[in-house]
Structure 1
Amino acid sequence: LKYLGDDKYEIEGFTTDKSAKSEDIAHIITPNSGGQPALNLNNSNYILTQIAKLFCLIFSYEETQQSIQNDKEIIWKRCIPGWREVCDECLTTLFNYHYMCKICGYMICVECSDEFFQANTEKRKKLKRTCNHLDSFCLSEFIPWNILVKQRKYCIDYLSKLKIDHSTRFLHTSKNENYSIFIKSLKMKRIHDIRNIQKIWSAIDCNYDSNIEFYCNGRLPVFNEWTSENAKRFFQRVWAASCPVLVKQVHHNLSKTLWHPDAFKLHMLDHHDTPALWDCETLTPIQTNETILTRFWDGFERLNIRLRDNEHRGRVRILKLKDWPTKKDFASVFPTRLHDLMTNIPFSDYTRRSYTYNGVTYHGGAFNIVERLPACSVKPDLGPKLYIAYSQLTSQATRKAGTTNLHIDVSDAVNVLVYVGIGGQGDDGLDKDEEIRQVETEILNSNIDELQLQRLRNGERPGALWHLFRSDDVKTIREYIGRTQRKTSGSDEIHDQTAYLEKEDLENLKCWNQVEAYPILQFLGDAVFIPSGAPHQVRNLHSCIKIAEDFVSPENLDRCLITTNEFRSLSKTHTNHADILQAKNILYYATRDALNSLGKLPETLLDSSTYDNLN
């Protein structure tokens, strides 16, 4: 609509990029519009070496959509602050090009467009929320094309100076492949890169640093400190190889009282917070009240008073509280705990998020590139979140399930074990010998390497047993679960989170498929770093309180995109279906800010030539 004055309007039609005003696209073109400080030169260089070619690949994919328009007008859509634009078919966050119905406004992403346009009218009528105005769709954009062209040029100039190949080659997909040529090309690039990365590490790789050791027969780097320049450099090197990492003794600088079970119990009662609990065996939620939650906390280290399931012969429920707080930002619920964690979290250049505490603003880490999203966007809630669960070894019924079953996270994550509670018999829970004996037996039967066993002998307190896999093993693991009929419900063998690989499964994968897990004992204070796309599962040996912070690193952004595509293929009712991460948007803004810091962009892209070209 166009305002004519005197409360009169007329239909002007759809907007194009010629309608864009400086204030409409300021967040797109102005560097550091997310409120973060400018990146320094070293950090900008490193980020661009990791993501500049990825941006060129996305640009080329967008360019293929423009090339088939035959000079048809492209609709430009103005950004609405605080609103996340999504595909109405798969709920994936839209980056730039998409197709929109001129009649009803229905929007579909480029990945969904082929299937959508090929479906007949009857099929579309059966699909929930599907528009039937087949001939009314037109290509739309959020970022004026000229801006993307300029940013891609700067990327190519940068890569050329470093003599890095910036060519993009798309591989066509077959009819039975449920992903676009962009995702297939990304997968093939990932496979090629994986072939050339290091998987076994030794002292020579870390300059013989005595504070770095290696578990899992040299495959898992372990850091005893994380502040030295050598530790930071080596972490960056192994993280670029998509290798999991373990950091020890993080809890020493954390406040013990803040992370104690009694403190969380008191918070729930004082704030009348009644989050749902989950049964680890049945994978079902349990609605709670203050009485049930009091029993949950009282049974944290007292086995005799734990809740029982009367529908299953009175078995002891192995309960967990996950993703807490579930609906609110951790910063608003636990500001002091957030500050305590962020002050002490390892490798904070990657893991620190932005927040405000006592009136002081703390910026996110330079390599946590989700922080480059503009302030007007709907930023994803990447935590931290609490995961609090009982030990599992006291119940044979839960042997077929984990505290957290095998799954994949779309982003990178670090998980810190901040409290370990040993379950005891008797009314006072002081007789803990039986659980300790069971835990030791479980550990000795779990193919744990000698260096980790030595920690147990030295008196450190183990909390959980992890099994991690490399992201390039996903296809093989998925096929194995399918063959052994471990899939019970849902639409994906891994994303459904219904499978837990026992010792026999792990041995079969290693023997038959050459897929070897990383068996990791997480002791009190250990921080486990999990790269995006890496399958992992957890079984609590004792009752544990863990805090997990998700982040997005430049090294694994391509894996974020691949996993996002897997999620979009799940059913619309699947818990992982919706895309809240916005990996493509993160890529654009991180590239823009890094180029600006290197002087490859003007202070704002909206110089006179850019604005003239838009108009």
Structure 2
Amino acid sequence: MRFLQKELPHLEMAKIRKFPERKICQLCDYCQTTIFSGFWMCCVCGREYCLSCYEEWNDSDDSLKETRKCSQKRHHYKEQLVPIYHYTKEEIVRLFDQCNQMILDDEDSSDLDEGELPDDDAANLSAESSSSTIKSVESSRVMTRRRKDSRKYRTSKSKAKATTVHFKDSVVSISNQDNGIFTSPPQDCHDRTPQLHDEHKKTEYKANEMTEEIFRDLWRKGYPFVIKSVDKLKENIWKPDYFIKHYGNKDCTVIDVKENVEYKMDVKTFFRGFEDSSKRFMNKYGTYPCLKLKDWPPADDFAETFPEHYEDFSNSLPFKEYTTRNGIMNLAHRLPLEINRPDLGPKMYNAYGSEDNVGGKGTTNLHLDMTDAVNMMAYAPSVENRLEEERDKPAAAVWDLYHPADLPRVRRFLRKIAKEYGLSINHPIHDQCFYLDKGLRDRLAAEEGVTGWRFFQNPGDVIFVPAGCAHQVCNYTSCIKTAVDFVSPEGVARSYIVNQQFRKLRNGHKRKIDILQLPNILYHAWVTSWDESSD
């Protein structure tokens, strides 16, 4: 509905229609987010601007002139841009009416509210600096589903149970309900008021005790959790020796997690030092860097590069309706095959052991993602085969995770740390420039009252991370993990908020480009769901 509300007035002005190119993800040339239907274009240079950027446009703002330069040595002005659309007024109105009808049919429709979500970091930052206690009431479009067992959803390969995904407005007050959306901090940073996610004490589940009902309840609230000892993977194909034998001559790029320096090497060189530090790569300074091979393969499809691993991983995932590529509850699956789909993985994450004590650099810095994610540890050396300093660690890896409601406090704390370190940052979390070692975690708890959750992960353990949930990772020993992203109905409101935060990042920021295409995902999820419910 949020997207559609901007489209209707635009269609009253737009007279030119341009059919969307399915093989190209059309992005706004200023904010780098996906253009859904309506946009504004310069007929001289062809630059395209989304409806939000046009709405925020201020010709008198000199700071934007460089970005809005036309190729013909002139500046763009609002009145010179031409309105264009992809979908007709009839299509948008029909879509709008269908959304409204679904909302009216919902039993909770009496609670609807048209308030705005604090959907960018600027809103949260203003709340952080406020001197008064703020209790925010938030309204969100939350994707929920209806099952109709008698209907069938047709895919190109098979038929699955029909699933209707629909929007539902909900009024949420932090005093009595929690749907996982960002909330404002209280006045006194030393006296954090209790949050509803503080109730989330049980974070570990055995495979046989995690039910679909429990999963959906946790996911709706934005609560991460770990399923212990799934143990379904084929052990032999996930060992370092296997990758040395079958992929050893392939080139790869690895990162020194302590110095943030990249090195080029072959796969054999990296994995040879996985359990034997004497065989590790030595840099020009005569030291052995702590290396990480992330997002492997970086560009190619995991299913094509590692077909056996892809099948093994996919078969081992819990809640396949959500977590697999063809899962009926994975909204990204609703995109037509001919569309240039986002690459949501799987990807492999391999790294040597690091430290999380005072001065430790961890393995992956604090960050958050626009999508939901599931991460499975496939391999770590047995305790007796680990380096001597790694043998007394409580697990193979440790995760620190923070609920979205606590992130205003986390951001405020990290901005203070950035000042202490003399760092210039754009966004304290999206820049992914901090690992909270023990000293910083203790300070965060003492100064902001935020402790988050700690998850210990061993081979066979599966960690679920909701969209918008900030997290960092430290491998205590060398680990091989595989992760995949997905877009769930329960988490799509949080995905939208992160999407809007990325949009506000400075130009050139590594997280700014919208690779998810959330508006397109929502549109096709809605259309396919409405068609099913109308059968």
| TM score, norm. by length of structure 2 | 0.80
Identify the residue that residue 403 of structure 2 maps to in structure 1.
470
Paired with 2:303 and 2:262, the residues of 1 have a C-alpha distance of 25
Q: Identify the residue that residue 281 of structure 2 maps to in structure 1.
A: 307
2:417 matches 1:484: yes
Deviation for aligned residue 1:304: 2.3
How far apart in 2 are the matches of 1:77 and 1:166?
A: 35
- How far apart in 2 are the matches of 1:178 and 1:113? 23
> Contact (CA 8 Å) 2:324, 2:330: kept in 1 or not?
yes
Answer whether contact 1:370 1:551 (CA < 8 A) is retained. yes
Counterpart position of 1:97: 38
Distance 1:187 1:595, change over 3 A: farther
Instruction: Indicate whether 1:278 and 2:255 are aligned.
Output: yes
Q: Are the structure 2 counterparts of residues 509 and 74 from structure 1 closer, same or farther at C-alpha, using a change threshold of 3 Å?
A: farther
Provide the residue aligned with 2:368 in structure 1.
408
Aligned 8 A contact 2:342 2:516 in 1: yes
Q: Of residues 169, 172, 194 in structure 2, which corresponds to 1:192?
A: 172
Letter in 1 for 2:269: R
What SS does the aligned partner of 2:434 have?
Answer: coil
1:151 to 70, 85, 95: 95
Number of the residue aligned with 1:49: none
1:580 is matched with which residue? 515
For 2:184, the equivalent position in structure 1 comes to: none
Residues 190-339 of structure 1 mapped to structure 2, 5 A cutoff: 192=172, 195-197=175-177, 218-225=200-207, 231-250=211-230, 252-269=231-248, 272-288=249-265, 290=266, 293-311=267-285, 314-339=286-311
Letter in 2 for 1:253: K
Aligned residue among 436, 458, 463 for 2:391: 436
Q: CA offsets, 1:428-458, max 9 Å, x none?
A: xx58444203x2xxx4xxxxxxxxxxxxxxx
Please give the alpha-carbon distance, in whole angstroms, between the structure 1 residues aligned to 2:16 and 2:179: 48
| Residue 383 of structure 1 pairs with residue 345 of structure 2 | yes
Alignment match, 1:351: 323
- How far does residue 345 in structure 1 lie from its aligned partner after superposition? 0.5
Shift of 1:149: 1.4
How far is the alpha carbon of 1:404 from its aligned partner?
Answer: 0.1
**TM-score computed with the length of structure 1 as normaliser:** 0.70
* Kept in 1: contact 2:226–2:463 (CA 8 A): yes
Q: Name the SS of the counterpart of 1:561 in structure 2.
A: helix
- Compared CA separation, residues 94 and 72, structure 1 to 2 (3 A): closer
Paired residue secondary structure (2:423): coil
The aligned residue for residue 8 of structure 1 is none
Indicate conservation of the 8 Å contact 1:413/1:529, yes or no: yes
Indicate the SS of the match to 1:501: coil
Shift of 1:584: 1.5
How far 1:115 moved relative to its partner? Answer: 4.4
Q: Is 1:509–1:515's contact at 8 Å kept on the other side of the alignment? A: yes
Question: Does residue 58 of structure 1 match 2:3?
Answer: yes
The 8 Å contact of residues 36 and 520 in structure 2, kept in 1 or not, is answered as yes
Tell me, in whole angstroms, the C-alpha distance in 2 between the residues paired with 1:111 and 1:103: 21
Structure 1 CA distance for aligned equivalents of residues 18 and 346 of structure 2: 33
Distance 1:242 1:126, change over 3 A: closer
**Could you tell me how far apart the structure 2 residues matched to 1:173 and 1:334 are?**
38
Give the whole-Å Cα distance in 2 for the aligned partners of 1:369 and 1:244: 19
- Tell me what 2:47 maps to: 106
CA contact (8 A) 2:120 2:498 kept: no
Instruction: Spell out, residue by residue over 1:523-560, the C-alpha distance to the aligned partner (whole angstroms, 9 max, x if none).
Output: 21111100001110000011100000000001111111
**AA in 2 matched with 1:592:** V
Letter in 2 for 1:496: D
| Aligned-residue offset at 1:509 | 2.5
Q: Give the aligned partner of residue 114 of structure 2.
A: 168
Structure 1 spans left out of the alignment, 5+ residues: 1-55, 180-185, 201-214, 354-363, 425-429, 444-461, 604-615
Deviation at 1:576, TM superposition (A): 1.2
Separation in 2 of the partners of 1:384 and 1:505? 32
Give the distance between the partners of 1:500 and 1:487, measured in 2 at CA.
16
SS of the aligned residue for 1:146 comes to helix
CA distance in 2, matches of 1:64, 1:187: 27
Q: How far apart are the structure 1 equivalents of 2:386 and 2:304?
A: 39
- Equivalence for 2:154: none
Q: Which has the higher strand share?
A: 2
Give the Cα separation in 2 of the matches to 1:246 and 1:175: 29
The worse-fitting range, judged by mean Cα deviation, of 505-514 and 125-134 is 125-134
Gap change, CA 1:402 and 1:174, over 3 Å in 2:
closer
Where 1:413 maps in the other structure, the secondary structure is strand
Trace 1:503-522 onto structure 2 (pairs within 5 A): 503-522=438-457
Q: Can you list the C-alpha shifts for 1:129-165, whole angstroms capped at 9, x where unaligned?
A: 7773423312222222221211221222222122414
Aligned partner of 1:531 among 459, 466, 486:
466
Identity across matched positions, percent:
30
Q: 1:117 to 1:263 in 2, by over 3 A?
A: same
Contact 1:156 1:166 survives alignment (8 Å): no
8 Å CA contact 2:119, 2:498 repeated in 1? no
* From 535, 552, 561, the counterpart of 2:496: 561
Distance in 1 of aligned mates of 2:349 and 2:118: 42
Structure 1 window deviating more from structure 2 (512-521 vs 342-351): it is 512-521
Partners of 1:391 and 1:423 within 8 A in 2: no
1:72 to 1:310, Cα distance in 2 relative to 1, 3 A: closer
In the superposition, relative to structure 1, how do residues 128 and 296 fare at CA in structure 2: closer, same or farther (>3 Å)?
Answer: farther
List runs of 5+ in structure 2 lacking aligned partners.
126-135, 141-170, 181-196
> Contact 2:30 / 2:67 at 8 angstroms: preserved in 1?
no
What does the per-residue CA deviation read over 1:562-606, in whole Å, with 9 as the maximum and x for residues that have no partner? 11122222233322121010111111111121121111xxx7xxx
SS of 2:407 mapped into structure 1: helix
- Report the Cα distance in structure 1 between the residues aligned to 2:220 and 2:374, rounded to whole angstroms: 16
Q: Residues 559 and 122 of structure 1: is their aligned pair in 2 closer, same or farther, counting only changes over 3 Å?
A: closer
In structure 1, what residue type is equivalent to 2:7? E
Q: From the superposition, tell whether residues 76 and 402 of structure 1 become closer, same or farther in structure 2 (CA, over 3 Å).
A: same
- 1:53 aligns with none
Question: How many Å apart are 1:82 and its aligned residue?
Answer: 0.7
Q: Judging changes above 3 Å, is the alpha-carbon distance between structure 1 residues 320 and 144 closer, same or farther for their aligned structure 2 residues?
A: same
- Distance in 2 (alpha carbons) for counterparts of 1:329 and 1:487: 40
Q: Tell me how far apart the structure 2 counterparts of residues 127 and 166 of structure 1 sit (CA, whole Å).
A: 39
Label 1:178 to 1:417 Cα distance change in 2 as closer, same or farther (>3 A): closer
Distance 1:187 1:579, change over 3 A: farther
Q: Which position in structure 2 is the counterpart of 1:501?
A: 436
1:132 pairs with 75, 82, 99, which one?
A: 75
* RMSD of Structure 2 on Structure 1 (CA): 3.2
Q: Is the 8 A contact 2:352 2:477 kept in 1?
A: yes
Q: State the one-letter code of the partner of 2:234.
A: S
CA distance 1:173–1:584, shift in 2 (3 Å): closer
SS at match of 1:326: coil
Q: Which residue of 2 aligns with 1:450?
A: none
1:253 counterpart SS class: coil
Counterpart code for 2:204: V
Q: Distance in 2 between matches of 1:168 and 1:412?
A: 26
